Amino acid sequence: MPVEEPHRVVCHLDRILAERGLTVTALAERIGVTNVNLSVLKNQRAKAIRFSTLTALCEVLECQPGDLFSVEEL
């Protein structure tokens, strides 16, 4: 079985939350996900994100997916 390489996608939710003056708890309530799921994303431990969650994040945070994520260089 091949070893899964770690992804290089970085989530910038910490920075965006600070810029917006929002907490993880407040954002989780507004987009309808648990604090735990949002924390997994924020702390770079997520392996995937649903488009519905991404859409909700972008709507509430008034941003685009590229504002939330970037890909690290090798």
Second CATH level (architecture) for the domain 12-63 = Orthogonal Bundle (1.10)
pLDDT tens string 15-25: 999 999 999 99
- The residues facing 70 across adjacent strands are 10
The gap between the terminal CA atoms of the chain, to the nearest Å, is 24
Specify the pTM.
0.88
Two structure tokens written together for 35: 């604090």
Q: Residues 39, 67, 70, 14: is their CA dihedral positive or negative?
A: negative
By the 8 A CB rule, do 12 and 68 touch?
Answer: yes
Provide the CA 57 distance to its chain's centre, in angstroms: 8
pLDDT tens string 39-54: 999 999 999 999 999 9
